[in-house]
Every structure is written in structure tokens, then in C-alpha cells.
Chains A and B, each alone.
Chain A
Amino acid sequence: MATTLPVALVLGSVSTTAVAEPMYARNMSTFGLPGGIDTPTAETLPDGTLGATVSWSDYGRRGSVVFQALPGLTAVLRYGRVDGINDYRNDGYISDRSADLRWQVLDEQGWRPAVAVGLQDFLGTGVYSGEYIVATRTVTPQVRVSAGLGWGVLAGKPRTIDSGDEGGTPNVDQWFRGGTRPFASVSWQVNDRLNLVAEYSNMDYVAKYSSGAVFQQGDEPDSNLNLAAFYRFGGNYEVGLYTIGGNTFGAQFSIALNPREATYPSGLEKAPAPVRPRPAPQADPDGWSGVWAQDPTAHPAIQTALGDAMRKEGQTLESMALSANRAEVRLRNARHISQAEAIGRTARLMTRALPPSVETFVITSTADGVPTSSVTVRRSDVERLENTEAGQIAAASALSDAPAGAPGLVRSEGVYPRFRWSIKPYVDLGIFSAEDGLTHEVGAEARASYEIAPGLVLTGALRQRAFGNIDPRGPGIPGRRGEHYTPEEYLADPSLETTPQGVPRVRSDTRMYTGNNDPVIPELTLAWYAKPAPTVYTRVTTGLLERAYGGVSTEVLWKPVNSSFALGAEVNRVKKRDFDQLFDFRDYEVTMGHVSAYYEFTQGFTAQLDVGKYLAGDKGATITLTREFANGWRIGAYATKTDLSAEEFGEGSFDKGVTLSIPLGWATGQPTRERVSADLRSLSRDGGAQLNVRDRLYDHVRDSHSVKLYEGWGRFWR
């Protein structure tokens, strides 16, 4: 091949000045982030990388999920089995969750090494608790050396774990305390695939408890010297073999995904129908004069033709207003992740369908049958700027709030009522459960929705389990850790539905809803979406809202189209559903809700603050931070703190978790709005529990609003 342009060039920076490559990791440590073997380094992963590592040895098994949240900030969630420790379960091992944060303070530059500080296992019960400062420097292009100071386990001075602690809160008073020792590592990149690492580590794999118990995990390392070989293949995968101290051996496997590395960056969707320029005025005098608009058959015929063309592109023409010089179309986008692509394709189809005198195009996006924004563009600009840099058509168009109705708007025939149904398999996976390890349930789900009129939707689902190992189970028995009520015991005594601390069991008995071998109804709702003012959206959802609650959920959202700030409020009156998930209810009933503030920062970061009352009647706030990419990737973290004490809340002390959503089109290149989503909660308890009602307003509305629309605007001419 004559060309040697690296693909990385298109993926990365485009500035013409040479910028030194940041110091990216060559391998993952056994703790699942850039490192030596057990010790950390100051390396990072490419910004946005999401990875996972599974590491096995006689010391235990660790499964880690890593996210490079910012160019310098690495975050890890870890779920592990720590061998050699006996707790109340007396299994010879414990299941442990932990989280790390690392901040690369300085990147390598000239003579100066990269420097990072990190907190290891800074939440939770603290088997791996330690802190470090580490510097890494490239010595030759193949060799990197790291050296640092460690505290806690990294210094071989494990902290005493409070046996009675619920965990989950930062143990700030212990950070960087209790004596320090150095650690170091050397990595040698033999070739593109093979990397050899040697390190000096003080980790001795001892756990001490406040009860006085001291456990040696596996065998005590024979020496402080650890060795490893890592092999990369397929671009995204890495396997490693290592020895800790010469007498314990381990293996690991890592995968890393970068949202920036799509299989087909531009997508494989079919080419759009090109713009059809208007004929010269003398060639079509009637079309240019606008007399066609007097013909009552013109509008219906044009609307049908345009609607058919849009349907072929996966779009729905919900309604249209047409006059001699202006056309407004209301567009429901069912195919493209980027609303701009749907708008751009619709604009081109309009040049092919509308008579020449129509000069003003108004393309109004709808969500849930409600208009969300209007893009107004001159037809001559669409003709003039076809297939140019997308910024030009952005500058020539205007984005405005869309009123609920518009004069002359005619609904397309056959769009409402709209009935859709599907039968598809479902898979429920539980990954981060300390008690059970990996759990699953597989079955079939029938789902139907009937849109009676714009914004009025009846939705129902019916599930039949086929197989799985998520069996029904009562909540844990207070004071007897590791033991659970049987479903029969739990059903027999209604007083058990309140914890001894007086907290109603709103989520901790969630396993009572699982493992049902009869058909269940996960949801059956009637939802009504409306727009009382150009910047105000409302939702009322009533019925069986989710697996465990039914009732009424109401929401209002204020979101001007060009504002990055939004306000919302939600009030729900719900009753707990019976465990058979049919039409019966249990005794617990609550009115709960919250007010929300939303803000869209630049660079794809969004924040949401909810303040209000949660399902158990506890009051508090949830903060959510999300990072999203123009291609649709979303990774977020949230934490909820309410007025329940850590003891009332139980293990974990407060609710927190990570959400992840990957658009399927990113992996396959096919145009689809489908996503693969996951919600990793560290724990699911009664405090800070939110109602899981579908289709909250904010995410639906903002797809076509300024920040998100312009983020994906490059796809206008796609």
C-alpha cells in the first residue's frame, strides 16, 4: 500500500503541531488499572477507555472495571473473591467490593517523569486499602521505570478492618498514614505484543480485623520480587502470566474498549437521497408562482409522497403544514442515534418532494408524540451547501422551541393509532452481587404498545421465564449475616416487611419478585405526554409502573431548546406490587418525588441533581455525573445520600452506582437507536431507592436540543 497514514491520526488530535503521545499503559495490573503487576504506575489509558480485567491467583480472583473518566483520572470498580479470610460465612474466602481512583498530576515531559497519586480501595471494607504517589519515566523507547511510595497494603502495613463497619464511605482519616515504604517496577516492551515486567512490592497479603483475627491470604510471598509477561492480541485483548514472590502464580485477561474506536466510524447506513435542485422558473412557472397551493389535492398528495420517502429512511412524518412558500414537517426519528442525521435527510427529501415556491423549511423533531425543537432552514441554503462542511449549514439554520401546535398542521394518514408488538428474548444478569456471584435469568418477553393519539400511549409487557438461577428469596435476616428468610417465612409474617430499624423494605426484598415460573407483567401503563407551553413538557404515567410498584407518576420539565440548564419536578403516588407481579398490591403505599436540576457542560459532560423523598420515605439527594460522546456512548456515576443513618441503610452506607450505555451501531455500523445498557450498583438497599418509571422526559427531550443536536451536527449531510 502506498499510503502509510496511521488510522490513529484520524481518531486522535488533528492539530498540525507535533504533540508527544501521552504515556499510555502497556499492561494492566492485577488490580485492573495501568500498572506493573501488583504495584501502580503513573500511566493512563487513552481518554474514555472502558476496560475490564479478570485476574486469578491463590490470593483470590479479582474482576475489575476501569474507566478513564478524564485524560488524567482513572477510576476502577472491583469485585473480588479474597481467599484465606474467614468471616461469618466460614467459607474460607470473602467476597469484596472495592473502588480505586488515580489522578495523573503531571504527564511525562522532557526529563520530567509522569506523576500520579492514587487511592486504592478507598470505599468499602478495606482489604486492599492503600495510597500511593508514583512516578513513571521512559528510559529508552522500550523500557519504562516506575518508582513510588506506598501506604497501607502497598507498604505491607494493612489497616485494621472494623468488623462492624458497614463500609462504603471514604476512610479519609487513614489516608497517607501509618508508615510508608517504596515500590518500583520496570517494564520492557519486547515487541508490539509482548511486554515483560519486574517489580519490587511490599504487599504481604495479610488482612487484620478489629476482632483480633489476622488472616494470610494464600501463601506469604517468598520475596518482594514479582515477575510477569503480558501479551496483547486483537488490538483490544491482553493475557498475562505472573508470579508473586516466586511461589504464587497467577493469570489474567483484560479487554479494553475505546468509544473513539468504532468499527465503522461513519456508519454503514445507505447513502441519503441527494438534493434535487429546483428547475429554472421558466421551466416550471406554476410551481414557482405558488398557484399550486390553491389546489386542495396538492397538499395531501405531497404529504403522502414525502411520508412514503421518509418511511423508507426509518422516519415518520407525523404531520405537515404547507403553504406556497413555507413547509413545516414533524419528524419522528426511529433510526439514527444522531437527530441531526434524521433532520439532514429529511431536508433533502423535502427538496425532492416540495414545489419550487416553497423556500422556508421547518423541520420539527418530536419525542413521544410531542414536538421538542424546530430547525428552520432556507431551501436555497440546502441546495447551495449540500455536502459541504456541516458547520456551514449549522450557521445558516436556526434552532427554536416548537409550540405544541402550528397553524395549518395536518396529521398524516395512518400514523395514529399506531400498534407495535414484539416477542423477544430477555436476559437478566447480576454480576456484582457479593452473595451470589454471577446470576442470570433467561426467558421470553412479549411487548406491545398502542399509540392512541400523539402523546397518548398504552404499553404492556408480559414475561415468561425459561431458565435461570435467580430464585425467589426473602431479605437477609437482621443480625445473622449471610442468612435469608425463605419466601414462605417472609410471606407468612407481614411485620418482616419493615426492618428492625423501622425502614420499610422497598428494595431489599427485591428477590421476592424473581424466579417466578408463571407469566409476570413487568409493566402495564397508560402514559400521556403533553406540552402546555413552548418550553414546558409534562408526563403522566399510570398503571403498573415497574416490577415492584404501581400507581401514578407525574413529571414536569422546563427545558428551553437553546439552554444548557433545565429544571424538573416529579411526584409519584405508588403502592407496592405483590410478588406474583400480576394485578395485586401489598400494603405499603407512599407519595414520593423530587425536584431536579440538569446542566449540560461542554465536552459531553452532564450533571443532574435530584432532591426529594425516596421510596422508603427517606429524604435526601442524588447527584449524577455522566460523560457522553457524540457517537452515543454514555458512562455515568451516581450517589444518593438520604437522612437514613449508615446503620439504618445497611451495608454500603449510601446508594451509589455506575451506568453504562453503548449504542449498538457503534459496534455494528448499522443505523439503529438500540443500545446495550447496564446499571452497576455497588449495592441495592432500601435507602435512597428511586422509582423505575420508564421514559422520563429529560433524555427524550434533549436529543433534539442545542447541546446534543449540535454535538452530532456533523452527521447532517450523512
Chain B
Amino acid sequence: MNGVTKITLAAFLLAGLASCGNDSENAGPFGALAQTAGQVAAERRAAKQPAAPAKSPQEAAAEALRVNPGPLIQAGFENLGRTQVMAMTGQNGAMRTYMTPAEEALILRNGLLVGTRGLGHDLSVAEPQTEPLIRAGAAGSGTRVMRYFAGDGVERPLQFACTVGAGPNPGVTVENCEGHGATFQNSYMVQGGQIAVSRQWIGPSLGYVTIQVLRP
């Protein structure tokens, strides 16, 4: 038996041992790493399977509308490269929390993005002073504070100067923001005071999300 085999065998032994016990919250570093490795392996295997033809966003939306009687949105995460139907799991005043089946969340206030959860580079909270302008479809300017977790575990605010005005396409309001050497542009299609379709910036890592209301 050569050395490489021995090492592989030992690693298998460790991985096998790592999963024993009734103490899932305290499985130890090896346990946690083995779980992570297990997930990666499972994903790899899943990727190799001849997958069922992926549902188009339209088909997914139609199915969700049939199955779920509650409010639904469809969210396309540009940097993550996926589009998902999200169902409302809670409403607190004008604030609604929508979640994917994997319990990742978008938090919207009357359609305006105020936070994300479970995505790894989440927006903790957005405080857009431009909100009344956007809803009214009026032109003007205001500041927008976006709060993020930095890697050291501390929440930090980023402040942007934004101008709101009519976009090139009729019915679309555009919010241009600038600050910290960066620019981004949010677009909102407002119908009857409600934001029906929008493309909003989450943050530097996650980029934009396109949100379409399937059922208000």
C-alpha cells in the first residue's frame, strides 16, 4: 500500500468517524468540515445526474401560483445567476418578508428592498430617503444609507447620494446613486402606487436583483 492510499484511507476514517454522536451543534471542527465536505460531494453528485429539464422562470411562476395561495414574487439574482419564486412568510405593517424554499429572504417595504438574509453578503438594512420620490414618480434627490456586515462582524453604513427621476422608458422611475467611488442605478415600475417590477441593487457582492410581483 503506498503512502497516498494510506492518507486517503485515514481521511476516510476521519470523515466516517466525524458523524457519530447525538450532539449535532457540537460536532467539532472535523464534524463541521465533514458536513461541509459532504454537502459539496452531494452537490457534485447531483450535478452529475442527468437533471430533469430545468423549469423556465415562467413555468416556475405558474406552478407556484397554482400551489401557493399567498403573495408571491419572482426574484432574479444577477450575480448568483438564479431566478427563484419567493413566498411571503411574514408581514409587519408595510414590511414583507419573502423567502425561498431554502429560507433565504428578501425584505421589502411596499416593494422597495430594505434587506436580505441568508445570502452570505447580505444587505442588513437600507434606509432610502428617496422613498417618497420613488412612490410619487417625482424628480428630486436624497441620500440612501445601506448597512452591511463587514468581515470583522461589525455592521457598517455606506452612504450614497441619489437622484430620482423618470427613466428613458415610460412608467419607469430611475434612482441613480453615487458614493464611495461607486455608482448604481435602481429602476422601478410603479403601478397605482405599487412597485410591480423593479431592478434594485443589493450590494457590492450580490449586485442587482430583479423583482417581479406575481401575486400582490
Q: Does A pair with B?
A: yes
Q: A residues bordering B, Cβ < 8 Å?
A: 1-7, 9-12, 14, 16, 48, 258-277, 314, 334-335, 337-338, 383, 386-390, 419-425, 442, 444, 466-467, 629-633, 664, 666, 668-670, 672-676, 711-712, 714-715, 717-718
Chain B residue numbers with a CB within 8 Å of A4 are 181-183
Given A2-B185, A269-B118, A424-B21 in contact, is the A7-B205 Cβ separation under 8 Å? yes
Given A271-B97, A277-B93, A668-B36 in contact, is the A422-B26 Cβ separation under 8 Å? yes
Q: Are A266 and B149 interface neighbours, CB within 8 A?
A: yes
Q: Are B93 and A271 interface neighbours, CB within 8 A?
A: no
Q: Are B182 and A10 interface neighbours, CB within 8 A?
A: no
Q: Are B203 and A10 interface neighbours, CB within 8 A?
A: yes
Q: Are B26 and A273 interface neighbours, CB within 8 A?
A: no
Within 8 A of A (CB), among B95-122: 95, 97, 99, 102-105, 107, 114-115, 117-122
> CB-defined interface of B14-56 with A at 8 Å, one 1/0 digit per residue?
1001101111011111111101100000000000000000000
Is the CB of B201 closer than 8 A to any CB of chain A?
yes
Residue of A nearest to B78 (CB): A1
Chain A to chain B contacts (Cβ below 8 Å), 27 pairs: A1-B79, A3-B184, A10-B203, A11-B150, A14-B159, A263-B120, A265-B150, A270-B104, A271-B117, A271-B118, A272-B117, A274-B92, A274-B97, A277-B92, A386-B92, A389-B127, A420-B23, A423-B21, A424-B21, A466-B13, A630-B152, A674-B28, A674-B31, A676-B29, A714-B155, A715-B149, A718-B124
Q: Are A422 and B23 interface neighbours, CB within 8 A?
A: yes
Given A11-B150, A338-B153, A422-B23 in contact, is the A675-B29 Cβ separation under 8 Å? yes
Is the CB of B158 closer than 8 A to any CB of chain A?
yes
CA of A422 to CA of B27 in the docked complex: distance in angstroms? 7
Given A269-B118, A629-B152, A714-B155 in contact, is the A5-B180 Cβ separation under 8 Å? yes
Chain A residue numbers with a CB within 8 Å of B127 are 389
Q: Are B90 and A334 interface neighbours, CB within 8 A?
A: no
Is the CB of B154 closer than 8 A to any CB of chain A?
yes
Is the CB of B70 closer than 8 A to any CB of chain A?
no
- Pairs A-B, 9 closest by C-beta atoms: A274-B90, A422-B21, A631-B153, A5-B182, A714-B155, A630-B153, A264-B120, A271-B105, A271-B117
Q: Are A670 and B121 interface neighbours, CB within 8 A?
A: no
Q: Are A442 and B10 interface neighbours, CB within 8 A?
A: yes
Is the CB of B167 closer than 8 A to any CB of chain A?
no
Chain B residue numbers with a CB within 8 Å of A670 are 32, 35-36
Chain A residue numbers with a CB within 8 Å of B182 are 3-6, 9
CA of A82 to CA of B148 in the docked complex: distance in angstroms? 48
Distance of A474 from chain B, by nearest CB (Å): 30
Residue of B nearest to A14 (CB): B156
Q: A259-B151, A711-B154 are in contact. List 4 more A-B contacts (CB 8 A).
A: A1-B79, A270-B102, A673-B25, A715-B149
The 8 Å CB contact of A423, one of B20, B103, B183, is: B20
Q: B residues bordering A, Cβ < 8 Å?
A: 10, 13-14, 17-18, 20-23, 25-33, 35-36, 79, 89-93, 95, 97, 99, 102-105, 107, 114-115, 117-122, 124-125, 127, 147-159, 179-185, 201, 203-205, 207-208
Q: Are A266 and B204 interface neighbours, CB within 8 A?
A: no
Q: Are B151 and A3 interface neighbours, CB within 8 A?
A: no
Distance of B192 from chain A, by nearest CB (Å): 25
Chain B residue numbers with a CB within 8 Å of A3 are 182-184, 201, 204, 207
Q: Are B151 and A258 interface neighbours, CB within 8 A?
A: yes
CA of A442 to CA of B26 in the docked complex: distance in angstroms? 20
Chain A residue numbers with a CB within 8 Å of B103 are 270-271
Q: Are B156 and A420 interface neighbours, CB within 8 A?
A: no
Q: Are A424 and B17 interface neighbours, CB within 8 A?
A: yes
Chain A residue numbers with a CB within 8 Å of B150 are 10-12, 260, 265
Residue of A nearest to B23 (CB): A420
CA of A266 to CA of B104 in the docked complex: distance in angstroms? 12
Distance of B1 from chain A, by nearest CB (Å): 14
Chain A residue numbers with a CB within 8 Å of B27 are 422, 424, 674
Q: Are A712 and B153 interface neighbours, CB within 8 A?
A: yes
CA of A631 to CA of B153 in the docked complex: distance in angstroms? 4
Q: Are B148 and A266 interface neighbours, CB within 8 A?
A: yes
Chain A residue numbers with a CB within 8 Å of B148 are 10, 265-266
Q: Which of B30, B92, B102, B152 has the most CB of A within 10 A?
A: B152
Q: Are A423 and B17 interface neighbours, CB within 8 A?
A: yes
CA of A388 to CA of B114 in the docked complex: distance in angstroms? 9
Tell me the number of A-to-B contacts counted with CB atoms below 8 Å: 220
Chain A residue numbers with a CB within 8 Å of B22 are 419-422
CA of A568 to CA of B187 in the docked complex: distance in angstroms? 59
Q: Are A631 and B204 interface neighbours, CB within 8 A?
A: no
Chain A residue numbers with a CB within 8 Å of B154 are 630, 711, 714
CA of A714 to CA of B156 in the docked complex: distance in angstroms? 9
CA of A467 to CA of B127 in the docked complex: distance in angstroms? 58
The 8 Å CB contact of B120, one of A268, A632, A673, is: A268
Given A5-B180, A271-B104 in contact, is the A10-B93 Cβ separation under 8 Å? no
The 8 Å CB contact of A274, one of B17, B89, B203, B207, is: B89
Q: Are B25 and A16 interface neighbours, CB within 8 A?
A: no
Chain A residue numbers with a CB within 8 Å of B155 are 389-390, 714-715
Chain B residue numbers with a CB within 8 Å of A672 are 25, 32
Distance of A573 from chain B, by nearest CB (Å): 30
Chain B residue numbers with a CB within 8 Å of A271 are 97, 99, 103-105, 117-118
Chain B residue numbers with a CB within 8 Å of A268 are 118-120
Chain A residue numbers with a CB within 8 Å of B183 are 2-4
Chain B residue numbers with a CB within 8 Å of A260 are 150-152
Given A334-B25, A420-B21, A714-B155 in contact, is the A9-B30 Cβ separation under 8 Å? no
Q: Are A664 and B158 interface neighbours, CB within 8 A?
A: no
Q: Are A669 and B120 interface neighbours, CB within 8 A?
A: yes
Chain A residue numbers with a CB within 8 Å of B32 are 664, 668, 670, 672, 674
Q: Are B204 and A10 interface neighbours, CB within 8 A?
A: yes
Q: Are B158 and A9 interface neighbours, CB within 8 A?
A: yes
Given A271-B103, A420-B23 in contact, is the A387-B115 Cβ separation under 8 Å? yes
Q: Are A421 and B120 interface neighbours, CB within 8 A?
A: no
Q: Are A265 and B151 interface neighbours, CB within 8 A?
A: yes
Chain B residue numbers with a CB within 8 Å of A633 are 152
Q: Which of B35, B156, B157 has the most CB of A within 10 A?
A: B156
Distance of A13 from chain B, by nearest CB (Å): 9
Chain B residue numbers with a CB within 8 Å of A676 are 29
CA of A388 to CA of B29 in the docked complex: distance in angstroms? 34
Chain A residue numbers with a CB within 8 Å of B147 are 389
CA of A338 to CA of B149 in the docked complex: distance in angstroms? 13
CA of A581 to CA of B17 in the docked complex: distance in angstroms? 23
Distance of B42 from chain A, by nearest CB (Å): 15
Chain B residue numbers with a CB within 8 Å of A16 are 159, 179-180
Chain A residue numbers with a CB within 8 Å of B104 are 270-271
Given A14-B157, A664-B32 in contact, is the A444-B90 Cβ separation under 8 Å? no
Chain B residue numbers with a CB within 8 Å of A338 are 153
CA of A430 to CA of B208 in the docked complex: distance in angstroms? 48
Chain B residue numbers with a CB within 8 Å of A277 are 91-93
The 8 Å CB contact of A629, one of B124, B153, B205, is: B153
Given A424-B27, A425-B18 in contact, is the A14-B158 Cβ separation under 8 Å? yes
CA of A273 to CA of B150 in the docked complex: distance in angstroms? 23
Chain B residue numbers with a CB within 8 Å of A314 are 25
Chain A residue numbers with a CB within 8 Å of B33 are 664, 668
Given A265-B149, A314-B25, A422-B27 in contact, is the A270-B118 Cβ separation under 8 Å? yes
Chain A residue numbers with a CB within 8 Å of B93 are 277
Q: Are B151 and A276 interface neighbours, CB within 8 A?
A: no
Chain B residue numbers with a CB within 8 Å of A669 are 120
CA of A388 to CA of B10 in the docked complex: distance in angstroms? 49
Residue of B nearest to A718 (CB): B117
Q: Are A424 and B36 interface neighbours, CB within 8 A?
A: no
Chain A residue numbers with a CB within 8 Å of B201 are 3
